[in-house]
Amino acid sequence: MKANIRKKFTAALVAAFLMTTMTQVYSDEGMWLYDDPPLEQIEAKYGFRPDAQWLEHLQKSSVRFNNGGSGSFISEDGLVISNHHVGAGALEKLSTQEKNLLADGFYAASRAQELKCHDLELNVLMSIEDVTERVNAAIKPEMSPEEALKARREVMSRLEKESLEATGLRSDVVTLFQGGKYSLYRYKRYTDVRLVFAPESDIGFFGGDPDNFEYPRYNLDISLFRVYEEGKPAKVEHYLRWSTTGVSDGELIFVSGHPGSTSRLITQDELIFARDVSQPYVLERLNRLEVLYMAWAERNEENARRAHQAIMGVQNSRKAISGRYGGLLDPDLLSAKAAAEESLIRSMKASPEFQGSVVAYDVIAAAQKVVARNYTDYRMWEGAQAFNTSYFGIARTLLRHAEEKGKPNGERLREFRDSNKVSLELGLFSEAPIYEDFEMLRLCDALKFVIGKLGYENEMVQKVLAGKSPEARAAELIRGTKLKSVDTRKALYEMSAEEIEKQNDPMIELARLVDAQARSLRKLFEEQDELTRQAHDKIAKARFALVKEHTYPDATFTLRLSYGTALGYEEAGQKIPFQTTVGEMYAHAVAHKHQPPFKLPESWMKAQEKVDPSTPCNFVSTADIIGGNSGSPTVNRAGEFVGIIFDGNIPSLVWDYAYSSKQGRATSVNSQFIMEAFKKVYGADELAREIEKGKI
């Protein structure tokens, strides 16, 4: 990292960790809760104060995808827009060897042509209820970590079940501020989701991995879906009106989406664990998988189609985590974190009320040591990274469901609680294709990976291999399992544990073989998490009382509001404009001699004379985002859709740990670019009319 950037990054870290009121007023930092928005900060800086009606409309226009992305309603008939890469999984599952929707794109010119997705679930946040007191009341000081974990799990499951039965809405108790607050989120759930439109992957991911997380960008990274109820397009009250004018330089914008996770409030010891243990492990595995998938894909066109989405996912994760890991390796990061902790600890020691809470840091440090010692075993057995195949996940789910369903709701593993039943079954009974050859490749490599990490003579490794080579064992398991049939899965799902055992399915028996050790590791990690959660609760209470300023929790894949301005930046002495154009996109392709991944689709080359080269393409803003925000709507003061988040630039990758707007930017597709594509490239006039019908 260059010295000048590093100095600014360090300053941002200090500001973020100390969380002064001045920083909050004059910075665009924050992934804010909808039930606690930063109205004073926005008004102080921009002279605009969103009212309750404005916030409710944006909240209920926002959509969460169960595959980790975001989106928004853009018509009263349940039309949803998200990213091409968020919809890529659905596109891949709907594709065949003869018809590659991911590569070639798709447009349903009529409702009858819309394609039902296999296992896509969309959620819309309807309400939030603070349940902190009810959750914390279940935890008694004299409880052991195991007892506290059981009590917390029971009360959270009870709250979720009560809410589901009372409202019919998906109900999730969400942990905020690392345990400082608990909120009950209620969602309207849609499971009949149909594909409406997607461009070709060559324009949806134009520039490919070389341009990923870079800027300038020129991507039409969008896909459109429609939600149905009772076989008809859903009628929705809240949807975003479309802006035909896009966004101007320096304009205030808002982002409403579901950031996955950040680590801004963790302790110094947790940062050290990430730097020394978890992130190096993850990067090693991603690098391995990228080489494996790329080599397999290069063998033939069909391999490339089957592995495409896996390759994109691995490459994206590898690049993102590499950037975050680089931030962890900056010594100033830990210095800033240490300074922030020392400041808070001094305040805690000076306060009679919070003197005893200082020990919370020692509790977290001890928990991190336990986690570090067992991390690889946990990732292999409970994390199932020794068994990188969809069939193992299905097998484990069936095995554990048979054991968990007879327990009281509050005592089950969290994924088997009553409130999660619909989502669990949607994935388990999906008709999406699973390719035997690709699964065998993945499983064989995973077995080699666990041998490399734990050693060939490891007792569990030997049991898993069963006297065979990784190649032979993988072939035996994949070819022998009966879980390829959805009807078989449904039948097994209804069976008791004893009945499932009699089926002698090799994949289920593999899951059974490792289950005791996997559950033991899970229990150990959950107990450390419980200790850490209680410790963070003490720290959070002290921070709330002593720092006395409005702040936000780390991201949790729950709906958040961010804000900022459409704004360029300077890099290596060069001014980077806030927005790119379609003309520059064509020039970018020419500069790379139209070679993949800079080769524009034939549809765009044919339409070059019709498309206005001055049409805005992509733009950047200072809005605070992270992974999971992909597909989030970008709106203006009027609440109009002006763009859709699809990426951040390289300097934004350190936002996992601290926000800085010096060079970090969120990247959006401009609303004008989308409409230009519909009308002049794809002939999607009906789709354009439906969207523009609701424009202001």
Element (H, E) at 398: helix 390-404
Q: How many CB atoms lie within 10 A of CB 252?
A: 18
Angle at CA of residue 192, ends 187 and 195, nearest 5°: 115
Q: Are 553 and 265 in contact (CB under 8 A)?
A: yes
State whether 416 and 537 are in the same domain: yes
Give the pLDDT score at 229.
98
Element (H, E) at 307: helix 301-328
pLDDT at 35 over 60: yes
Three-class SS state of 114: coil
pLDDT at 8 over 50: no
Q: Are 231 and 264 in contact (CB under 8 A)?
A: no
pLDDT at 327 over 70: yes
pLDDT at 26 over 80: no
Average the pLDDT over each of 5-19, 350-364, 443-457, 565-579 and give the range with the smallest value: 5-19
> Quick check: is 639 in a domain?
yes
Mean pLDDT of 541-569: 94
> Quick check: is 467 in a domain?
yes
Total structural domains within the chain: 3
State whether 451 and 504 are in the same domain: yes
Q: How many CB atoms lie within 10 A of CB 220?
A: 30
Give the pLDDT score at 17.
44
Distance, CA of 132 to CA of 134 (rounded, Å): 6
Distance, CA of 77 to CA of 236 (rounded, Å): 6
> Quick check: is 236 in a domain?
yes
Residue type, 506: P
Domain around 480: 366-544
Angle at CA of residue 49, ends 43 and 53, nearest 5°: 165
Residue 610 belongs to a domain with what CATH number? 2.40.10.120
Q: Are 617 and 673 in contact (CB under 8 A)?
A: yes
State whether 416 and 488 are in the same domain: yes
State whether 172 and 147 are in the same domain: yes
State whether 601 and 502 are in the same domain: no
- Sign for the CA dihedral angle at 434, 440, 442, 447 comes to positive
Distance, CA of 294 to CA of 308 (rounded, Å): 9
State whether 570 and 612 are in the same domain: yes
Express each pLDDT in 632-676 by its tens digit: 999 999 999 999 999 999 999 999 999 999 999 999 999 999 999
How much is the mean pLDDT over the chain?
Answer: 94
> Quick check: is 316 in a domain?
no
Mean pLDDT of 538-550: 90
Q: Pick from 190, 206, 234: which residue ends a domain? A: 190
State whether 371 and 507 are in the same domain: yes
Contacts of 574 (CB under 8 A, 6+ apart): none
User: Of 227, 128, 135, 121, nearest to 172 (Cα)?
Assistant: 128
Orientation of helix 436-454 relative to helix 470-480, angle to 10°: 140
pLDDT at 18 over 90: no
State whether 577 and 517 are in the same domain: no
pLDDT at 5 over 90: no
Express each pLDDT in 124-146 by its tens digit: 999 999 999 999 999 999 999 99
Express each pLDDT in 416-425 by its tens digit: 999 999 999 9
Give the pLDDT score at 548.
77
Express each pLDDT in 229-239 by its tens digit: 999 999 999 99
Three-class SS state of 576: strand
Angle at CA of residue 60, ends 58 and 62, nearest 5°: 70
Place of tokens 């989701």: 193
Dig out the tokens for 569 from the structure.
Answer: 């930046």
9 pLDDT band (50/70/90 cuts)?
very low
Distance, CA of 179 to CA of 176 (rounded, Å): 6
Q: How much is the pTM?
A: 0.93
Residue type, 158: R
Element (H, E) at 352: none
Task: Find the distance separating the first CA and the last CA of the chain, reported in whole Å.
Answer: 45
Residue 642: exposed, middle, or buried by beta-carbon count in 10 A (0-12, 13-18, 19+)? buried
> Quick check: is 164 in a domain?
yes
Dig out the tokens for 478 from the structure.
Answer: 């994949």
Dig out the tokens for 578 from the structure.
Answer: 């806030």
Average the pLDDT over each of 6-20, 383-397, 577-591, 640-654 and give the range with the smallest value: 6-20
Express each pLDDT in 343-387 by its tens digit: 999 999 999 999 999 999 999 999 999 999 999 999 999 999 999
695 pLDDT band (50/70/90 cuts)?
low
Distance, CA of 455 to CA of 470 (rounded, Å): 13
- Sign for the CA dihedral angle at 14, 18, 22, 26 comes to positive
Give the pLDDT score at 154.
96
Contacts of 113 (CB under 8 A, 6+ apart): none
Express each pLDDT in 167-212 by its tens digit: 999 999 999 999 999 999 999 999 999 999 999 999 999 999 999 9
HEC sequence for 597-643: CCCCCHHHHHCCCCCCCCCEEEEEECCCCCCCCCCCEEECCCCCEEE
The half-sphere exposure of 323 on its side-chain side, counting CA atoms within 13 A, is 22
Mean pLDDT of 52-72: 97
State whether 79 and 138 are in the same domain: no
Angular region, 398: left φ>0, alpha ψ -120 to 50, beta rest:
alpha
Distance, CA of 252 to CA of 249 (rounded, Å): 9
Alpha helix (H) ranges present in 405-505? 421-428, 436-454, 459-465, 470-480, 486-493, 497-501
Element (H, E) at 514: helix 506-547
State whether 136 and 181 are in the same domain: yes
Q: Are 212 and 602 in contact (CB under 8 A)?
A: no
Residue 79: exposed, middle, or buried by beta-carbon count in 10 A (0-12, 13-18, 19+)? buried
| DSSP track, 213-277 | T-SS------EEEEEEETTEEPP-S--PPBPSS---TT-EEEEEE------SS--HHHHHHIIII
Three-class SS state of 346: helix
Element (H, E) at 455: none
Q: Pick from 190, 206, 230: which residue ends a domain? A: 190
State whether 587 and 465 are in the same domain: no
pLDDT at 4 over 60: no
- Sign for the CA dihedral angle at 292, 298, 299, 300 comes to positive
> Quick check: is 334 in a domain?
no
State whether 385 and 501 are in the same domain: yes
Place of tokens 């392709």: 589
Q: Pick from 520, 544, 568: which residue ends a domain? A: 544
> Quick check: is 407 in a domain?
yes
Three-class SS state of 573: coil
Mean pLDDT of 617-634: 98
Task: Give me the numbers of helices (H) and strands (E) for the chain, helices first please.
Answer: 27, 21
Angle at CA of residue 559, ends 553 and 561, nearest 5°: 75
Three-class SS state of 71: strand
Give the pLDDT score at 547.
87
Place of tokens 């068994």: 387
Mean pLDDT of 5-21: 40
